[in-house]
Amino acid sequence: MGGPEGRPSFCVGLGLALASSAFIGSSFILKKKGLLRLCRRGRARAGQGGHAYLREWLWWAGLLCMGVGEAANFAAYAFAPATLVTPLGALSVLVSAILSSTFLNEQLNVHGKIGCILSILGSTVMVIHAPQEEEVSSLESMAEKLKDPGFIVFAVCVLVSSLLLIFVAGPRYGQSNVLVYVLVCSAIGSLSVSCIKGLGIALKELFSGKPVLKEPLGWVLLVCLVICISVQINYLNKALDIFNTSVVTPIYYVLFTTAVMTCSAILFKEWQHMVLDSIIGTISGFLTIVSGIFLLHAFRDVPFTPDLLPLFLQQGRADLHTLWRSTDTHQSCQHQPLLPSEDKDSQSTEEEEGESV
C-alpha cells in the first residue's frame, strides 16, 4: 500500500469498495419495497417459499443494484486485500439505514445515527491498519492455497453448518430468529469471496495473455461462485421478507465481515506478519463497528427522551431547573417593591394635589 504501485491499487480498491457499498445499500431498499408491494397484493411471500417477487420490477431493480455493487466489490477484491475491502461494507449499513427511514418509514433515532457514525469510524481504523495478504499472482499459487488443510477444514465446517441451518434450524426457527437465514448468507458469502479473489487473479492473467481458459480451476471457481451467490440471494430474500431491514442489514454485515476475515486469515495468511499495533488497531476497529451496529439494531424502536438519561443527570436537570426558577423568582421579588413604591408615591402626590385644591 505504501509502494509506488501499491498506492494507485489502494485508491482504486477504495473507490470501488465505496461505490459497492452505495449500490448494495440501495438494493436492500428496492428489494424490500418490491416485497412489500407483493404483500399488499396478497401474493405468496418469499418467507413462506413463494417466488412471486420474480415478477416484480422493483425487486429486479434491487437485484440490478446489488449486481452492480457486487461487480464493484468483485473488482475491489482484485485490487486490494479482503480485510481492506470487507470492513467498508459498513457504509452499506449507513446507506440502508438512511434510505429505510426515508422511503420505508423505518425509524432512525439518535442511537441509530450514533451507530452509523461509529461504524464509519471503525471502518476507517480498520482500513488504516489493514493487514497485508500473501502475494497470490497466479492460479497455480491460488490452487496451492486452496489445498491447505486449514482452509479445507474451514470450508467443510461452513458447508456442514449451512446444511444444518437450512434443513434443520430453518423449518423450526427461520420464521422467528433472524440469525438462521443470515448465518447461511454470511457463511456461504465467505466462500464466495474466496472464489472472487481467484477469479480476479484469473482475469488479470487473461488480460496479460496467458491461456487461463484452459485452466479447470477458473471454471470451478466460477461455478462455485454462481452457486454461492444464488444461495445468498435466496436466503437473504427470506430474511428481508420476514424481518425489518434495519435488523437484517447490520446483523448480516457483522456476521459476513467476521466470516470473510476468518476465511481470508486462513486462506491468505493475512495476520501472519502483522505487528502488534496493527493487530490491536484492526481488532479495535472491528469492535467499534460491532458497537455501532449494536446501537443501530438494539435501540431502533426506542425514542430518545430526557427520561432515558441516567438518574444523576435527571437529578442535575431537576436541580438546574429549580435553580432557574428560584433565580427568576428572586429577581422578580427584587423588582416587586419598585412598582408599589412608585404607586405609593403617585398616590401621595395625588392626595397632596387634592388637599391643595
CA distance 122 to 282: 9
CA 192 to chain centroid, in Å, comes to 19
Length of the chain: 357
243: left (phi over 0), alpha (psi -120 to 50) or beta: beta
The per-residue pLDDT for 5 is 46
CA distance 223 to 268: 21
Per-residue pLDDT of 2-47, as tens digits, reads: 444 456 676 777 788 888 888 888 888 888 877 777 777 666 555 5
Taking every pair of C-alpha atoms in the chain, what is the biggest distance, in angstroms?
A: 127
Look at residue 63 and tell me whether its pLDDT is greater than 80: yes
Torsion angle, alpha carbons of 267, 273, 277, 282, to 10: -10
CA 207, 208, 214, 220 dihedral sign is: negative
Q: Report the pLDDT averaged over residues 122-138.
A: 73
Per-residue pLDDT of 169-191, as tens digits, reads: 988 998 888 889 999 999 998 89
Does the predicted model carry a pTM greater than 0.85? no
The per-residue pLDDT for 344 is 46
> Could you tell me the pLDDT band of residue 339, with boundaries at 50, 70 and 90?
very low
CA distance 133 to 146: 15
Q: Is the distance from CB of 313 to CB of 305 less than 8 angstroms? A: no
> Could you tell me the pLDDT band of residue 271, with boundaries at 50, 70 and 90?
confident
> Could you tell me the pLDDT band of residue 332, with boundaries at 50, 70 and 90?
very low
Look at residue 311 and tell me whether its pLDDT is greater than 70: no
Per-residue pLDDT of 45-54, as tens digits, reads: 555 555 566 6
Of all residues in the chain, what percent carry a pLDDT higher than 90?
A: 10
All 3 cell numbers of residue 28? 436492500
The per-residue pLDDT for 1 is 47
Look at residue 158 and tell me whether its pLDDT is greater than 90: yes
